[in-house]
Amino acid sequence: MTETVVLLAALLALLAGLAAGKAWERYKLRGGRWIDRRRLRGSPHYILGLNHLVSNQIDLAIDELTKAAQLDRDALEIHLILGNLYRENGQVSKAIQIHQRLLQRARMTTLEHAHVLLCLGLDYRHGGFIDRAAETFSEVVRLDPRNTHALLNLEKLHEEQHEWREARVIRQRMAEAAGDEHNPRDQAILAFLENELGLQAMREQRPDQAIRHFEAATHLDVKTVPAYLNLGDVRLALGQRKEAVEAWEKIVRIVPERAYLAFSRLKDAYAGIGAPERFPDLCRRLIDTNPQDWRARLALGEHLAANGAARRGLDLLLESLLHNPHGLAIHQAIWRTLSVLAFEESVVTRYINLTRDAVFYLDPHICMRCRYRSTELLWQCPQCHEWNTFVEERIATAEESEEAPA
Ligand SMILES: [Zn+2]
């Protein structure tokens, strides 16, 4: 993973450098002589350095590019890449030194200046100098208001410090800079930031404000699941059970694949308003609309088993297992139900036959952006810090994988 990042960062710097390369004239007066810069760029050190970069041998790439940089002290791109390589190699102070030296150059265009500052900002961020990183990225944005790279870094810095309001301002600027203020991705991120503001208000005992944030989140993006969960929680804490149920039921209606997140809340709330039957009804509706919904089967199975219908409950639990053979919660529910049925031999045999070919493994949630894996569903990825990127890896049953084309 880090290796890919290193390579990517270096290549991006290279590409950006080449783009700025118009300013990099072919011929250069040095020591009273014109030098063909294209030949310099074609020096073995430069090419060797790039080759090492591509084959991910960072130390060797640094060696060769250092030689190339000595051959041509004016070549902005080589110095930029070199600094970036040092940074990604963990030598942050060296990276800072190189990039700071570049800033002292007199003849730089505004965009080149912004680009050097961006690299320096990344150095600071990497080294944990948060304030200096924020200042530097802000300076980049001042020079180049549409620099989404700097804006994104600023946003992440604010998020890391839980400065949700500031992060929201930056995300709004990014949407404006892209000229598309209603881009669904931006709306979704703004919604998650609103949700965080709501949680903050909840912690600070300001329920009215929390409700406004959660509602704003769902207006920005109707699929912001945690905002509905939290909205219901605030409503419930205020004694507004009916409104709480309404909030949670919106998940069932709008994002049924995440309905399970509201199961225990809804189950308790239905019981609280004297309508416990609404819970199994809800599960049945979910199963009808999505036959693969193992969680609704699990919940319904457990509900039936707990209400004197162990056999019917067990049927549903075994069906649930068919769709998700590695679900620990399902196995536990089955064992509980088997014990209620006094481990009757025929049902135990059914269970054993079902599980014989199942493949077991954990962490089925995976970040679509960086492939980070997690046992839990996460709203923000701890590795790439992106919002709402987790999907549940589809685990085929043994039967299905046999049918699937190779
Ligand atoms: Zn990720």
Q: Is residue 243 a part of any domain in this protein?
A: yes
26 and 116 in a single domain? The answer is yes
- CB count, 10 Å around CB of 155? 24
| Residue 177: closest CA among 208, 149, 211 | 149
304 and 374 in a single domain? The answer is no
Q: Is residue 248 a part of any domain in this protein?
A: yes
Spacing, Cα 368 to ligand 1 middle (Å): 7
Which is more confident, 298 or 42? 298
Q: Given 98, 128, 144, which residue is the final one in a domain?
A: 144
Instruction: Tell me the H-state helices in 222-377.
Output: 225-237, 241-254, 263-272, 278-289, 294-306, 310-323, 328-340, 345-355
| Residue 150: CA count within 13 A, CB half-sphere | 26
95 and 221 in a single domain? The answer is no
CATH at residue 292:
1.25.40
| Residue 351: CA count within 13 A, CB half-sphere | 22
pTM of the model: 0.75
Spacing, Cα 367 to ligand 1 middle (Å): 5
Number of domains in the chain: 4
Q: What is the mean pLDDT of residues 256-262?
A: 96
Q: Is residue 315 a part of any domain in this protein?
A: yes
Spacing, Cα 77 to ligand 1 middle (Å): 29
169 three-class SS:
helix
Spacing, Cα 187 to ligand 1 middle (Å): 19
24 and 117 in a single domain? The answer is yes
Range of the domain at 350: 283-358
7 and 46 in a single domain? The answer is yes
224 and 259 in a single domain? The answer is yes
pLDDT tier, 108 (very low <50, low <70, confident <90, very high otherwise):
confident
Spacing, Cα 126 to ligand 1 middle (Å): 18
Spacing, Cα 196 to ligand 1 middle (Å): 19
59 and 80 in a single domain? The answer is yes
Q: What is the pLDDT of residues 138-180, one digit of tens each?
A: 999 999 998 999 999 999 999 999 999 999 999 999 998 888 7
129 and 10 in a single domain? The answer is yes
366 and 352 in a single domain? The answer is no
394, amino acid identity: R
pLDDT above 70 as % of the chain: 85
Q: What's the pLDDT score for residue 12?
A: 52
Q: Region of 343 please: left (phi>0), alpha (psi -120 to 50) or beta.
A: left
346 and 367 in a single domain? The answer is no
Q: Is residue 398 a part of any domain in this protein?
A: yes
36 three-class SS:
strand
Q: Given 223, 258, 276, which residue is the final one in a domain?
A: 276
11 and 86 in a single domain? The answer is yes
If you compute the radius of gyration of the chain from its CA atoms, what whole number of angstroms results?
Answer: 28
Spacing, Cα 379 to ligand 1 middle (Å): 10
DSSP state of 387: B
Spacing, Cα 268 to ligand 1 middle (Å): 34
Q: Is residue 107 a part of any domain in this protein?
A: yes
Q: What's the pLDDT score for residue 375?
A: 81
Q: What's the pLDDT score for residue 323?
A: 87
Q: What is the pLDDT of residues 271-325, one digit of tens each?
A: 999 999 999 999 999 999 999 999 999 999 999 999 999 999 999 999 999 888 8
Q: What's the pLDDT score for residue 405?
A: 39
Q: Is 384 exposed, middle or buried (0-12, 13-18, 19+ CB in 10 A)?
A: middle
Per-chain residues with Cβ under 5 A from ion ligand 1: 367, 369-370, 372, 381, 383-384
Lowest mean pLDDT among 66-70, 133-137, 247-251: 66-70
Q: What is the pLDDT of residues 49-76, one digit of tens each?
A: 888 888 888 899 999 999 888 887 778 8
